[in-house]
Structure 1
Amino acid sequence: MAHRVATAVLAACLVAVAGCGGQNQPAATGAAPTAQTAPNQITGTITVLTNRTDQVESGQADKYAAEFNKIYPNVQVKFEGLTDYEGEVKIRMSSEEYGDVLSIPNTVKVSQYPTFFEPLGPAEELSKKYDFTDRATVDGQVYGIANIGTAQGFVYNKAVWEKAGVKEWPKTPEEFLAGLQAIKDKTDATPYYTNYKDMWPLTMWGHALGSIGCDATAGDKLADTDNPWAPGQPLHVADKLLFDVVANKLTEDDPNTTNWEESKNLIANGKIATMALGSWAVVQMKEAATKAGQNPDDIAYMPFPSQTGGRFCTSVRPDYQYAVNVHSKNKPAAKAWIEWFITKSGDAQAALSISSVKGAALPSSLTPFEEAGVTFVRMDDKRAEQVDTIDKASEIGLGSPDYRQNIVDVARGAAKGDLNGIFADLNKRWAEARATVGE
């Protein structure tokens, strides 16, 4: 499953919180566990809402709880794995019943965090221990902490690429296309797999912001331009490469037949060579390779084919941030779980992901990045709400797959138009939206 992929009443609630579940919120009643708080003095039952249904179904979540209980014996941890995590949690947040610990839904604006979530501690203190805390800080308090961060690039079958004669990462979009062409010419593998039908993987192309140009503020800069798809701009570079990959017939024959779950087996067996996905996906592909009797070491990760100053860059973004329901009756226990899970469970390491704990070692899947001197760009996104407002007004959907599905359709001849026309339309809509909502 992917890491990241309602009612009218709740939609209104998340825009204008007065009159919804967060109104008249209770005062903070639970301090975070401290060195003076003995673990056996922390008690209660907490419910953890999670999008990791795989961990709940496999029993891994209960194993984590058992380890947690060795330190906190008087806390009972229950899990609810939600398949449609965003949709179900949004509905629950129109009441006070949305678990004790939850991953913050993407639809909740940072400015609304104090309404729905309990502060976890001062930013000045927690930012010394964890990365990404600035993304959940309001008035000096942190309301959410990510367990992991993910790098952005391409999962690939190294054995297939090497069979095609490509042993080094492509440094430019042109070299990337040449590599895919070599795979088409010299192997039986499909060079690139779009995952078009499942849609959400197409949004991964937008995560190249920051990697292209090695710019942590690339996302924020979208609020300052009327032409995000002008030549040389990161969105132009990324979306043009997607178009060219499809137009050059370097993908599956019919994108309407793609299947996300099956794609894991296909890349594991060397039947497809490359997919744009976050680094979180590597462990899933390796597991598929092991199950298929293939070499898991054939599954590797490469940065976006672009260099700045002779070096690759990869943008790093946090996954879901864990928070405590402001209405929870067992806040100390909930906070203890978050702290333990992030720092002691080993979940980030097991997932081959970047731990948010400062100073933690990179996962083995990214060791080649470290050895090659790839710059890890932790995205700022301080103006994310402003960019999101413009995006909604433009009806483009930067974080949705729709406009990139259209790029694929035009590139393969299933829809009218051309790339220049697509970019002109996107720039026009963006400029009009900026003028409407104000800079």
Structure 2
Amino acid sequence: MVTKKFLTAGALIGAGTLALAGCSGGGQAADGGDDAVAGTITVLTQRTDIVDTVFQDYKAAFEEEYPDVTVEFEAITDYEGEIAVRMNTEDYGDVLLIPNSVNPDQLGDFFEPIGDTDEVAKTYRFASEEAYDGKTYGIAITGNTNGLVYNKNVWEEAGITDLPTTPEEFLDDLKAIGEKTDAIPYYTNYADGWPLSQSDSNRGALGDPDYSNTHVAYSDTPWAEDEWHGIVDGLLYDIVENGLNEEDPLTTNWEESKNLLGTGKVATMLLGSWAITQMQDAAEAAGESRDVIGYMPFPYQVDGTFHAQVGGDYKNAINVHSEHKAAARAWIEWFAKESNYAFDNGGLSPLVDGPTPTTLGDFEEAGVEYVEMTPAKTGEESYEADVISKAEIDLYGPVYRQKLVDIARGAADGDKASYFAELNERWAAARAEVG
């Protein structure tokens, strides 16, 4: 499984040109299919692990409620990469997850609007996250908070009793794990790439809901020591430089990493809360207790309090070219309201009045305060994406972080200071060009 947010530089840069070139801006209904909750719809998903099991139960329940609709699934392993190519055509399913490579001002070219954002927000959380010009184009499959999933037994074996409150304390704890246990202190999942992008969804750890509208794209130095990317990327660099990660990052494997953490061979990974249940499942399958899996906030406090960003995961959306838009919308709304997907996966409900997951007890015990980031200012929804594109730095993706890991482990030239200076220089130049 992969989840928001991640992308490659190629997907991001190419989306604004290739994808738009293949789009005519609107679809035509066949036999009035847009208005009838009927027909066969293809639903694209990134959940290759449960498409043949859990999703078949969803299909049966939905088709019982909507007997004139047939649901077919297509699971895609490299979701971001493949969908960026397919969206050069009109053939990208009826329902799909909005990829990160689509900028806000492009949403209407590819997707049917769900409704006015103010109205959608009365029922669904995260309505402003895939929105443009007052229209919302997708409904979250689940909501996530962000932090670090860890094996409690390993941390206890290392003699660690308190949660780290600073990056420096976290680094010291990883060193203790390396010295006192046989576990790999930290696992990057470098080879799969997308897990490295999870850190960008932790901006709320700084406790400022307006941070993205006052920093990041609004700063010439996002990799300064006191800026979010300087903090989180600096910690990753220090972990690798100190040899506290896997020995050969090029051979990491996402599916295997679940087993490694569940069985205590790996101590810690930075991932969204969606990962908790998957790690618990892996621990249970290996004969361990599900309770061995813990979840800690990012090691940073403001006035003695931890904060964690909350936001929507991928958003289900309707292909603007679909011939069965009513059926596609029925699936999206049923999935959000009836499937129980979010709760079963330990996620925040996409419904405003939805249930709270039981998997976040560790956060409650730590007194974590949740931060929902303020939407971009009207007229500036694409500003950060525009700067990213001009700078050719995949801020939501793995490429520049993979290079960071390579530098830290001595496989590429440079050091932390020189690389951060380069990133800041490219970023400032892009800001100047975007205006």
TM-score strictly above 0.5: yes
Matched residue, 1:2: 2
Moved more, 183-192 or 69-78: 69-78
Change (3 A) 1:386 1:11: closer
| 1:322 counterpart letter in structure 2 | N
Superposed displacement of residue 85, structure 1: 2.1
3-state SS of paired residue (1:53): coil
Give distance in 2, aligned partners of 1:430 and 1:90: 24
Higher deviation after alignment, 12-21 or 168-177: 12-21
1:35 paired residue number: none
Name which of 403, 414, 417 aligns with 1:420. 417
Taking a change above 3 Å as real, the CA distance of residues 437 and 72 of structure 1, as seen in their structure-2 partners, is: same
What RMSD in Å do the two structures reach over aligned CA positions?
2.6
CA contact (8 A) 2:33 2:39 kept: no
Structure 1 residue ranges (4+ consecutive) displaced by more than 6 angstroms after TM superposition: 10-13, 16-19, 27-32
5+ long unaligned stretches in structure 2: none
1:313 Cα offset (Å): 0.8
Q: Distance in 2 between matches of 1:106 and 1:395?
A: 15
**Equivalent residue for 2:129?**
135
1:332 shift after superposition = 1.8
Q: Is the 8 A contact 2:26 2:321 kept in 1?
A: no
CA drift at 1:156: 0.3
Q: Which residue in the other structure is 1:311 paired with?
A: 305
Superposed CA deviations along residues 7-57 of structure 1, whole A, max 9, x for unmatched, are: x9x98784488764333545997889xxxxxxxx8332222111222222x
Matched, 1:205 2:199: yes
Q: 1:23 aligns with which of 19, 22, 25?
A: 25
Per-residue Cα deviation, 1:176-195 (whole angstroms, up to 9, x for no partner): 11211221222111111122
| Cα separation, 1, equivalents of 2:262 and 2:18 | 47
**Structure 1 residues 297 and 24, CA, compared in 2 at 3 Å: closer, same or farther?**
closer
Q: 1:249 to 1:343 in 2, by over 3 A?
A: same
Q: Which amino acid aligns with 1:423?
A: F
Distance in 1 between residues matched to 2:370 and 2:125, nearest whole Å: 13
Mean Cα deviation higher: 375-384 or 341-350: 375-384
Q: How does 1:22-421 map to 2 (within 5 A)?
A: 22-23=24-25, 25-26=27-28, 42-56=37-51, 58-211=52-205, 213-220=206-213, 221-382=215-376, 383=380, 385-421=382-418
CA change 1:177–1:84 in 2 (3 A) is closer
Q: Which amino acid in structure 2 is aligned with residue 164 of structure 1? A: A
The letter of the residue matching 2:403 is N
Contact residue 411 and residue 418 of structure 1 kept, 8 A: yes
Measure, in 2, the Cα distance between the counterparts of 1:270 and 1:16.
44
Q: Contact 1:17–1:112 (CA<8 Å) still a contact in 2?
A: no
Identity of aligned residues (%): 48
CA offsets per residue over residues 116-139 of structure 1, 9 Å max, x none?
Answer: 222222322210111111123334
Listed as ranges, the gaps of 5+ residues in structure 1 are 33-40
Q: Which amino acid aligns with 1:64?
A: Y
Secondary structure of 2:333's partner? helix
Matched to 1:401, the amino acid is P
User: Which amino acid counterpart does residue 54 of structure 1 have in structure 2?
Assistant: D
Normalised by the length of structure 2, the TM-score is 0.90
Could you tell me how far apart the structure 1 residues matched to 2:198 and 2:418 are?
Answer: 22
| Higher mean displacement: 271-280 or 177-186 | 177-186
| Number of residue pairs the alignment of both structures matches | 426
- Work out whether residues 148 and 298 of structure 2, in 8 Å CA contact, stay in contact via their aligned partners in 1: yes
**Mapped partners of 2:418, 2:189: distance in 1:** 24
Higher relative contact order (CA 8 A, sep 6+): 2
Q: Secondary structure, in 3 states, of the residue corresponding to 2:317?
A: strand
